[in-house]
Amino acid sequence: MSRINMASAEWGILGDMPSSQLGFVPVPPVSISPDKAGQKWLKRNPDHPLLVAVINSENYSAALDTIRFLRQRLQNQQMRLIIFASDEVKSEIAAQLNTLSIHRLQSLADWSDSFLRELLEAEGHEFARVKARLRRRESEMALLTWLARSGREAVLETRHLREISGLLCELVGARGLFISAGKTLAEVYPADLQNVAWTHVLESQFETLDLAEQPVRVQLDPDAPMHRQASDLLRISVTGSVLLPFRCYQDIRGYLLMLLTPDELAALDVATVNLLEKTADQLRAHAERQQSEASLKSQYERLQQTLEQLYSTQEQLFHAEKLSSLGQLAAGIAHEINNPVSYVLSNFEPLDEYISGMTELIRMHDEFARTLDLGDEAFRQQLQNSIRVRSEAIDLEFMMEDVFALVSDSRKGLLRVCDIVKNLKNFAHKDAMEDNAFDLAECFRDSLGILRHQLGNEIELCEELQCPAMVHGNAGMIGQVIINLVQNALHAMESRGQLRIKLQALNVGWELVIHDSGPGVPEDILSRIFDPFFTTKPVGKGTGLGLSTVHTIMSRHKGWVKVRNDQGARFSIWLPDASASPGLSDQDG
């Protein structure tokens, strides 16, 4: 008598089982009562494969409630359901075959040990087939999930090949060997075969191996030396094998050798072989793509380093131009700082006298306070007269007013020094390129504050500024542009003439015009003035980077700078509005 393919503990009886010996099963089935306790048991055991229900008129309602609980409440459609029903309820149950997913409905009169044995054997085989299909789907899903995840890995390492080898062995249901690129054993599946001496098997496998470009090599000769040696080691019949090389371009990074028994070989269908080939191809594509990406990344990093060096050189040139401008401004700025500092220092002499007089009055008031405790009326009257005389002598009321005035004037002078130093620091500091919204009119005023000493009394400044004029860019760099253009204008006029400044809205942006009354730019060099290192000044008087720096900064800010002669030189710069698209930078003014 053949044994069923289902363990006896994996099927249960719902309801009262008719008299039976059940001698063909080692352990009686699980008894499930058609009540709340039975429903709880089904809820705790969702993976139970088979339920045999015995239903008659007495337990009909309770049994159907339990079955509905299984199918509808628990949404469990996997558990197979066989019903033995009495004649009086069989027709009613038959009407609900599809609703309750009943796999087989039998008459209670059919119950016998022989019939039940045949029924359980058939269900056992069906359960085994379902489990095999489920296991296959789970293996395929795990394989596809792994492949999808591995596509995001930066590098396909040996550990990844070990993982995919294990998944492929589970898919085929075979024992497997993961072999390194050097053709040495790296891992065995399952792991309990790790200590088996596989040396001769590997030698036989690779003795005359020529894979060419094969993604998968299936070997079906049961008499092959490698198959015979594997059979002796495992004490089972190995009649076939599959060799899967892991490739990357022309290199092989490892191999997976799967050893197949006759049953496993019979189950190895064309679909499985195709899946193995596609897996090998996808792994190869991953490895080649990752290697190409690594090569491209290395080239990109080298290009990035070169670009950073160019930017660094450019920033150094900008900074050199700033320092050159600072050198020209130094003398005037020193004078600009010296005036408020000298004024503040001159205030210290009267402040010293005031502090001395106030200190003396405070000491006399302290003595006067002590006389109040001693009760010496004559001494108290004397001190009171002395305090009055001293207060009149130093003119205390005037002194108090003058102290606050001196402190206020000193504070203004020091704040003026702070403003000058702050403007200098902002101008000389080598900033990174940062995009922020700022007021171009305010930026112009701050920049002009540094050059205030160069204007003198013979420069007429005419300003026409719209406020606010919000633009997008780096305020420090635009300040450098303004200082360079204003300085050039002052040099061209030789500190005598009219400097006209106009800020107006133009083409979704703002145009700042700096127009001097000097001789203008010679027409033969008008097209070259923005070239790096071009200057008309004698050697040692100019770097030739001023207008080149202006042009570069405006380009980096998606703006432009133009020049033309109009009773003097007329320089115009344009910046996009803070709310406008950078793509408008090429519009003409």
Looking at residue 188, its pLDDT comes to: 93
Q: From 1.10.3720.10, 3.40.50.2300, 3.30.70.100, 3.30.2290.10, which CATH number describes the 8-137 domain? A: 3.40.50.2300
Under the phi-then-psi rule, with left for phi > 0, alpha for psi from -120 to 50, and beta for the rest, what region is 111?
A: beta
Spatial distance between the Cα atoms of 407 and 290, rounded to a whole number of angstroms: 71
- pLDDT average, residue stretch 462-490: 85
pTM assigned to the model: 0.44
201 or 368, which is more confident: 201
pLDDT in tens, 442-463: 888 888 877 776 777 788 888 8
CATH architecture assigned to 152-268:
2-Layer Sandwich (3.30)
pLDDT tens readout for residues 202-241? 888 888 777 777 788 889 999 999 999 999 999 999 999 9
pLDDT reported for residue 393: 74
Instruction: Determine the Cα–Cα distance for residues 142 and 167; give it in Å rounded to an integer.
Output: 7
Q: Which two tokens stand for residue 62?
A: 């309770």
Quote the pLDDT of residue 587: 42
- The beta strands (E) that lie in 377-529 are given as 436-439, 459-465, 470-473, 497-505, 509-516
List CB contacts of 323: < 8 A, sequence separation 6 or more.
428
pLDDT in tens, 90-125: 999 999 989 999 999 999 988 888 888 888 888 877
Name the more confident of 584 and 249. Answer: 249
Q: Residue 501 phi/psi, 5° resolution?
A: -120, 130
Q: Alpha-carbon distance 495 to 154, whole Å?
A: 64
Confidence grade of residue 586 (pLDDT, cut at 50, 70, 90): very low
Alpha carbon distance 184, 332 (integer Å): 81
For residues 36-61, average pLDDT: 91
Residue 589 pLDDT class (50, 70, 90 cuts) = very low
Q: Please state, rounded to an integer, the average pLDDT across all residues of the chain.
A: 81
Question: What mean pLDDT comes out for the span 139-148?
Answer: 86
CATH classification for the domain delimited by 436-586, as one of 3.40.30.10, 3.30.565.10, 1.25.40.10, 3.40.50.720? 3.30.565.10
Q: What is the domain partition of the chain in residue ranges?
A: 8-137, 152-268, 305-428, 436-586
Rounded distance between C-alpha atoms, residue 153 and residue 161, angstroms: 13
The answer to whether residues 66 and 39 touch, using CB atoms and an 8 Å cutoff, is: yes
H-assigned helices in 375-395? 377-394
Contact 202/229 with Cβ under 8 angstroms?
Answer: no
Distances (CA, A) of 101 to 48, 75, 369, 474, 495: 16, 11, 109, 73, 102
Name the band, by pLDDT with cuts 50, 70 and 90, for residue 1.
very low
Amino acid identity at 109: A
Distance from the first to the final alpha carbon of the chain: 101
What is the token pair recorded at 547?
């207008």
Burial of 172 (0-12, 13-18, 19+ CB in 10 A): buried
More confident residue, 585 or 135: 135
Q: What is the mean pLDDT of residues 410-421?
A: 75
Torsion sign, CA atoms 425, 427, 430, 433:
positive
